[in-house]
Amino acid sequence: MSESYPTDLYYNREHDWARVAQGEATLGITWHAQDALGEVVHFEPPEAGAQIAAGGSYGEVESVKAVSDLISPLSGEILEVNPAVVDAPELINAEPYAGGWLVRIRLSNDAEVDELLGAAAYEAWVAEQ
């Protein structure tokens, strides 16, 4: 997969994305994050029903290079963990914005979305790093 940052998503500076719709958000890691990690071999998800906070860790991904905390771009309650990624974590590398999503949450503070970056701002920020 080539580098991409879909314009319908929101991004944080920790390289996580959020797809927001109707008071819920689907979360995952960006193309940049999965590229930096290399081959992802394990996803340690949170429990359904757990509360997560924007800027806080909600799980881990392990690659052949490192173990990295997942930093939530938004606060809310975990509604669903992607079982496909638990079973086949390499989906994060193959489809970071589609089949490789990690969790779905019910938002607890819609205003947090306004603090995230759009695709162009995130891509520019990555280029500066």
Domains for the chain: give ranges and CATH numbers: 10-128 (2.40.50.100)
Q: What is the pTM of this model?
A: 0.96
Helix H or strand E segment including 24: strand 24-29
At position 129, the amino acid (one-letter code) is Q
pLDDT digits (tens, 9 = 90+) for 42-86: 999 999 999 999 999 999 999 999 999 999 999 999 999 999 999
Sheet holding 24-29, edge to edge: 10-11, 16-21, 24-29, 103-107, 76-81, 51-52
